[in-house]
Amino acid sequence: MVTAAPVSPELRDGRERLVRFDGVERVAHWLTALSFLTLIFTGAALYIPALVGLIGRRVLITRIHVDVGLALPLPLLVSLAGSWGRGLRADLRRLNRWTHFDRQWLRSVRRHEPTLSVPTGKFNAGQKLNAAFVLGTMLVMLMTGSVMHWFNLFSNSWRTGATFVHDLFAYFLVAVVIGHIFMALTHPEALRSIFTGKVSRKWAQRHASLWVEELEVPPPTPGGRVAKARARAAGPGGPAGPG
Amino acid sequence: MTSPPRRQSTPVGRRVVLGMLGLGAAGVVFGSTVSRAIQDALSALGSSGNSVAGLIPGGGYFQLYTVTGGYPETPKDYHLTVDGLVKKPLSLSLADLEALPSESLVRPFQCVTGWRVDAVHWTGVPLGHLLDIAGVTAGAVALRFFSFDGVYTESLTLDQARLPDVIIAYKMLGGPVSREHGGPVRLYVPEMYGYKSIKWLQRISVVNSVIPGYWEHEGYDVNAWIGRSNGYSGPGIS
């Protein structure tokens, strides 16, 4: 779809590329995205009367929905499990931790002020919220979907409650996914990086200045991690795959 | 920027995820109560029953199921037939059914997977009355129901079929049974989970043994009493 080494004017002056997402992260992202889209479309085909009338085949669609749903966390779990997951684990830590800059960033959004003047790490507060929401939704949908699928184990009242929560969070999820796709389409270089893994130094300095600082002067850690991180920051391109 | 507080970070992401999980779990336990409140609010607004209300989570409207490729088309010159172990096989048009003594009920529709619709208005012919007209012969034990979707089937024992509130419904939700809801004619068994209330009903056969229906081949109980079948039995019914 999008190939590496674009020659957009933005990049012409700063050819140096920083690795934003390694190969494992990109594969995990796209497998998860594909699963979510499948779940949204099969879910709609089970829920919206007009689509039910068009597609029908309740048993088959339910089976796809349940199987894909149960498999949904696998790409993330497998990516996190081994040595290949270093990049993803580091990014999860970054997404989890909030500083006063993140609160400042959200305040700026609320007041319709420019957010680019707020120092930002690898991820801004909006991206952090998106990640937390998507992970939380994944767990809630797994929990309520399990009650709906293995209904034999639960009271009618819990079955009703699970159905209610599942339907409600599906609406939230669709809204957030649409927002996510909108942000991606309006930020082409960020979008490119989920295909190629890389961003220009110039983009990073503009959108994630604290991350660039972090790459250049890593926090004092024992052993060779400092040197490795420095090498990754300095080298053009850097290792894109699992180290 | 050089302010020291930058180093101080809090695990907000984890808190958001755990908070959502807590909300979700609370929703499973208390969701049916919340759902009732939403339904009361909707009916106070007078909007229950329209298609938008049907899409509101917890709005208490029907989920529409079909196991074939869509909502089947009613056959031209539709007749409901009653055959098998009967003295007098029947073939009834919709007008014939409407001319028979009818029963009107206001009862809920409860799906085994959890969604339910309270206080649905139903009108139809008691199934026991049809059986009396046809005259069940010796050896008859159960009924087999066939849908004109060509796939769906259901079953009831003769005793279950003769319960006074089991009806062959041609009206529902204040009008003729719509195509999505299984019109022109469907079964309604108030005391059993929704899968027993077969839609697009075309044929009833009186047989000498219980033959499990469509969802029963998928693992659902043949005797589908609400709250007394399909696993956990307990409160939560009415």
Distances (CA, A) of A152 to A75, B65, B112, B221, B233: 29, 20, 9, 10, 9
Question: What CATH number does residue A118 fall under?
Answer: 1.20.950.20
ipTM: 0.89
User: Quick check: A49 contacting B, CB < 8 Å?
Assistant: yes
Q: If you count DSSP H runs as helices and E runs as strands, how many of each does chain B have, helices first?
A: 4, 10
Whether chain B has a CB inside 8 Å of the CB on A160: the answer is yes
Binary contact (A136, B27; C-beta < 8 A): no
The 10s digit of each residue's pLDDT in B28-76 is: 999 999 988 888 888 777 655 556 667 888 888 899 999 999 999 999 9
Chain B environment of A158 (Cβ under 8 Å): 28-29, 32, 114, 236
Q: Please state which of the ranges A1-10, A103-112, A196-205, B41-50 shows the lowest mean pLDDT.
A: A1-10
CB contact under 8 A, B113 and A151: yes
Residue A1 Cα, gap to closest chain B Cα (Å)? 32
pLDDT in tens, A57-91: 999 999 999 999 999 999 999 999 999 999 999 99
Give yes or no for residue A6 having a pLDDT over 60.
Answer: no
d(CA B87, CA B95): 23
Residue among B216, B204, B176, B228 at smallest CA distance from B80: B204
User: What is the model's pLDDT at position A222?
Assistant: 55
Chain A hits for B5, Cβ within 8 Å: 99-100
Q: What is the pLDDT of residue B237?
A: 43
Poorest-pLDDT segment among A36-50, A91-105, B40-54, B139-153: B40-54
- What confidence category does residue A241 fall into, taking pLDDT thresholds of 50, 70 and 90? very low
The verdict on residue A242 lying in a domain is: no
**A240 inside domain:** no
Structural contact between residues B100 and B129, judged by C-beta atoms closer than 8 angstroms: yes
A160 contact residues in B (CB cutoff 8 A): 31-32, 35, 114-116, 236
- Per CB-CB distance under 8 Å, the chain B contacts of A159 are 112-114
For A123-174, the pLDDT digits (tens) are 999 999 999 999 999 999 999 999 999 999 999 999 999 999 999 999 999 9
> Total structural domains in chain A?
1
Give the A window 109-128 contacts with B, CB below 8 Å.
119, 128
pLDDT value of residue A160 = 94
Contact of A190 with chain B, judged by CB distance below 8 Å, is answered with: no
The answer as to whether A98 is a domain residue is yes
A103 touches chain B (CB under 8 A): no
Residue B103 β-bridge partners? B124
Domain carrying residue A168 = 10-234
Residue from A79, A121, A65 nearest A241 by CA: A79
Q: Which residues in chain B have Cβ-Cβ distances shorter than 8 Å to A124?
A: none
Structural domain includes residue A131? yes
Nearest residue on chain A to B51, judged by CA atoms? A49
Inter-chain residue contact B20 with A155, CB threshold 8 Å = no
Is the pLDDT assigned to residue A234 strictly greater than 70?
A: no
Three-class SS state of B105: strand
Tell me: pLDDT of B218 over 60: yes
Distance CA(A19)–CA(A237), nearest Å, equals: 7
Structure tokens at A156: 């009618």
Confidence of residue A219 (pLDDT cuts 50, 70, 90): low
Q: Is the pLDDT of residue A239 over 60?
A: no
Whether pLDDT at A19 is above 50? yes
pLDDT of residue B56: 86
DSSP secondary structure of A107-137: HHHHTT--STTS---SS-HHHHHHHHHHHHH
Write down the mean pLDDT value for chain A: 87
* Minimum distance, in Å, between the CA of residue A3 and any CA atom of chain B: 33
Whole-number pLDDT of residue A216: 84
Report whether pLDDT(A242) > 90: no
Q: Which of A48, A54, A157 sits opposite B32 (nearest CB)?
A: A157
**Nearest chain B Cα distance for residue A99, angstroms:** 5
Categorize the per-residue pLDDT at B14 as very low, low, confident or very high, splitting at 50, 70 and 90: very high
The amino acid at A58: R
Mean pLDDT of the region B201-217:
97
Which of B2, B3, B8, B9 has the most A C-beta neighbours within 10 Å, making it the best mutation to test the interface with A?
B9
Closest CA to B188 of B177, B198, B179, B173: B198
8 Å CB contact of A95 and B13: yes
Q: Which residue of A has its CA nearest to B9?
A: A99
- CB of A154 less than 8 A from some CB of B: yes
Q: Is the pTM of this model over 0.90?
A: no
Minimal Cβ distance to A152: which of B1, B19, B231: B231
- Judged by CB atoms closer than 8 Å, whether chains meet at A162 and B28 is answered as yes
pLDDT of residue A240: 41
Encoded tokens for B147: 């849908």
Rounded average pLDDT over A212-234: 62
Q: Which pLDDT belongs to residue A218? A: 62
B6 to A53: CB separation less than 8 angstroms, yes or no: no
Interchain CB distance below 8 Å, B17 and A132: yes
Domain covering B65-218 in this structure, CATH number: 3.90.420.10
Nearest to B68 among A56, A99, A132 (CB): A56
Q: Which of residues 53-82 of A touch B (CB under 8 A)?
A: 53-59
Cα separation of A148 and A169, whole Å?
Answer: 14
Q: What is the pLDDT of residue B113?
A: 92
Average pLDDT (A173-201) is 96
* pLDDT value for A13: 54
Q: Please, are residues B141 and B156 in contact by the beta-carbon 8 Å criterion?
A: no
Where are chain B's structural domains? Answer: 13-61, 65-218
Tell me the C-alpha distance between A61 and A53, whole Å.
13
A28 touches chain B (CB under 8 A): no
